Amino acid sequence: MKAYRLLTEDDTSAFCHKVTEALSKGWELYGSPAYGFDQTTGRMRCAQAVVKDVEGSYRPEIKLGLL
């Protein structure tokens, strides 16, 4: 099964750490990062999709962050 996650965070080093942690756990970048202004918080936000091949079948209760 191919698992998919969309990582998001304010535009701080926390976003880079979140993506780096996912990469260190075997996730791979999927597409280009996105960057946009969140009018609710007044901050810039980043997003990056990642994918990972894992054994088993999809189940809605899977905790993707634990893969």
pLDDT digits (tens, 9 = 90+) for 3-58: 999 999 999 999 999 999 999 999 999 999 999 999 999 999 999 999 999 999 99
pLDDT for position 61: 95
Beta bridge partners of 50: 5, 29
Whether 4 and 28 have beta carbons less than 8 Å apart is answered as no
CA proximity to 8, closest of 50, 54, 41: 50
pLDDT for position 64: 92
Residue with tokens 């007044």: 42
Q: What is the pTM of this model?
A: 0.89
pLDDT for position 35: 96
CA proximity to 33, closest of 18, 46, 20, 17: 46
Extract the tokens encoding 40.
Answer: 């609710």
Confidence of residue 1 (pLDDT cuts 50, 70, 90): very high
